[in-house]
Amino acid sequence: MAQLWGGRFTKETDQLVYAFNASINFDKRLINEDIEGSIAHVTMLAKQSILTNDERDAIIKCLNEILADVNNGKLEITEKYEDIHSFVEANLIDRIGDTGKKLHTGRSRNDQVALDMRLYTRKQVKLTQELLKELLTTINSVMKANIDTYMPGFTHLQKAQPITLAHHFGAYFEMFKRDYLRLSDIYERMNYCPLGAGALAGTTYPLDREYTASLLDFKGATANSIDSVSDRDYLIEYLSALSMIMMHLSRFSEEIIIWNSNEYRFVEIDDTYSTGSSIMPQKKNPDIAELIRGKVGRVYGALTSLLTTMKGIPLAYNKDMQEDKEMSFDAFDTVNGCIKLFDGMMKTMKFNKEVMAKSAMCGFTNATDAADYLVKKGMPFRDAHSVIGRLVLYCIDVNKSIDELSIDELKEICPMFDEDVYNEISLETCVEKRLTKGSPSSQAMNEEISGNDIFLKSI
């Protein structure tokens, strides 16, 4: 056991207590941030003449050596240390003696861990944004290639009206675009440096907190020292954004699973992104999409867990807050991994355009347009709705689609039908006549895609 706080104690910590209290097993992933923060701290201490330049240089040199030794395997982070902060400080003191003991001047582990976690989360937010940008680019290219790929649009998972694949994917572009922008907002809000808050009440040393903040590329120092050490809102915001991303990925995955099913066959997931069955030789399963859908629970779990952990904590730091790490790290890894895999699956997936168009052709997706046709001929919409309803019943009876009926059959149900109806209710017309902003026609779609291109260039 290597602890930083032995002085006040006359007995050794119980082994079980030590293990229960320790966080080294999971906070070791903060080593880069811990050392980055310590280097900024001593640089500021020397600028303020709290340390000499020689002391600063010796500490920084040694901190870099510790990091290098951990990275090349010469130095192992073991359970002998309570947490990553103790590990770094103890090794520093081992190597350079008394000078090393000066590192923690004007600092507490409370503001230190607040800084480490913020630095780490800040990098993760950027990583998620990079991955989302890649996915958005993929979705936009599918859109470009499928402006005239007709398919049924659904409500209640029942065929509703004809749309295009580009139009359908455009909906997901919007979702992930909002996710991207949400992360930018979160980044702005979290980009303040808590170091210098001390345990909770600042310090009596003349620290230059704004200088430390600028060394670490923050927008500034946090405003209140109590809030600095007890705030995990930024983490909750990020977990909430990650939950939303997972919800979007899960909806998309669910559709891919349905579209990839034997009944639909709208898409074919590539062999490299599918798995087989140990017993049924014919199977090619969409496991990746199912797993992404399945992993949503653990990300929502991380969000719920941290919200719950934080809700009863009096100001300022309490050890409960150590629980902010494990599930958050798991959520970061899970979401970033899922976006990457989903993107790979999209890039390799095949779209069965004929199957989609055929599906749009049957199932009466042009029934609304048939009613609109009668409205244009002078019939009130409610009456037209009822006429087409009867027409659909007749079609079901004779097992034909509306456009497969002869003009005589159509006229028998309503004499207002003319030869021009066939063109008016064709798949192409149904789509191309929808010209309003955000609709599936190629004109509206091209505008939407230009907007997407501008957005992708701006990020």
Which of 394, 367, 393 minimizes the C-alpha distance to 381? 367
Which of 322, 308, 327, 328 minimizes the C-alpha distance to 20? 322
Count how many Cα atoms sit within 13 Å of the Cα of residue 431 in the half-sphere of its side chain: 24
- Across-strand partners of 301? none
Smallest separation, CB 153 to ligand ARG (Å): 49
Answer yes or no: are the C-beta atoms of 345 and 256 closer than 8 Å: yes
Check residue 96 for interaction with ligand ARG (CB under 6 A): no
Question: Looking at beta carbons only, is 156 or 311 nearer to ligand ARG?
Answer: 311
Question: Looking at beta carbons only, is 83 or 369 nearer to ligand ARG?
Answer: 83
Question: Looking at beta carbons only, is 167 or 325 nearer to ligand ARG?
Answer: 325
Question: Looking at beta carbons only, is 306 or 402 nearer to ligand ARG?
Answer: 306
Q: Which of 197, 321, 414, 449 binds ligand ARG (CB under 6 A)?
A: 321
Task: Give the active site residue among 184, 261, 277, 450.
Answer: 277
Neighbours of 17 (CB within 10 A): 10
Smallest separation, CB 26 to ligand ARG (Å): 9
* Residue range at the interface with ligand ARG (CB under 6 A); choices 109-117, 143-151, 238-246, 437-445: 109-117
Question: Looking at beta carbons only, is 173 or 317 nearer to ligand ARG?
Answer: 317
Q: Which of 113, 216, 367, 370 binds ligand ARG (CB under 6 A)?
A: 113
* Residue range at the interface with ligand ARG (CB under 6 A); choices 143-151, 318-326, 391-399, 436-444: 318-326
**Residue 277 is a catalytic residue:** yes
SS3 of residue 297 by DSSP: helix
Q: Which two tokens stand for residue 224?
A: 């209140």
How many residues touch ligand ARG under the rule CB under 6 A: the total is: 10
DSSP code for 313 = P
CA 78 to the chain's CA centroid: 32
Check residue 88 for interaction with ligand ARG (CB under 6 A): no
| Interatomic CA distance for residues 103 and 92, integer angstroms | 9
Q: Which of 3, 13, 322, 368 binds ligand ARG (CB under 6 A)?
A: 322
User: 109-145 and 84-96 helices cross at what angle (nearest 10)?
Assistant: 120
Q: Which amino acid is at 178?
A: R
**Residue 156 is a catalytic residue:** yes
Q: Which two tokens stand for residue 154?
A: 């659904």
* Residue range at the interface with ligand ARG (CB under 6 A); choices 172-180, 242-250, 314-322, 335-343: 314-322
SS3 of residue 441 by DSSP: coil
Q: Which of 150, 317, 342, 364 binds ligand ARG (CB under 6 A)?
A: 317
Answer yes or no: are the C-beta atoms of 133 and 55 closer than 8 Å: no
Question: Looking at beta carbons only, is 109 or 248 nearer to ligand ARG?
Answer: 109
Which of 40, 201, 197, 43 minimizes the C-alpha distance to 107? 197
Q: Which of 41, 56, 107, 109 binds ligand ARG (CB under 6 A)?
A: 109
**String marking each residue 17-36 x if it binds ligand ARG according to CB under 6 A:** ------x---x---------
Question: Looking at beta carbons only, is 239 or 430 nearer to ligand ARG?
Answer: 239
* Phi/psi at 342 (5° precision): -60, -40
Q: Which of 83, 231, 343, 369 binds ligand ARG (CB under 6 A)?
A: 83
Smallest separation, CB 347 to ligand ARG (Å): 39
| Interatomic CA distance for residues 295 and 287, integer angstroms | 12
SS3 of residue 154 by DSSP: strand
Q: Which of 110, 212, 230, 274 binds ligand ARG (CB under 6 A)?
A: 110
How far is it between the farthest Cα atoms of the chain? 102
Task: Give the active site residue among 156, 278, 406, 458.
Answer: 156
SS3 of residue 83 by DSSP: coil
The residue number with the shortest CB distance to ligand ARG is 322
Smallest separation, CB 258 to ligand ARG (Å): 43
Which of 105, 81, 107 minimizes the C-alpha distance to 94? 81
Residues that bind ligand ARG (CB under 6 A): 23, 27, 83, 109-110, 113, 317, 319, 321-322
Q: Which residues are catalytic?
A: 156, 277
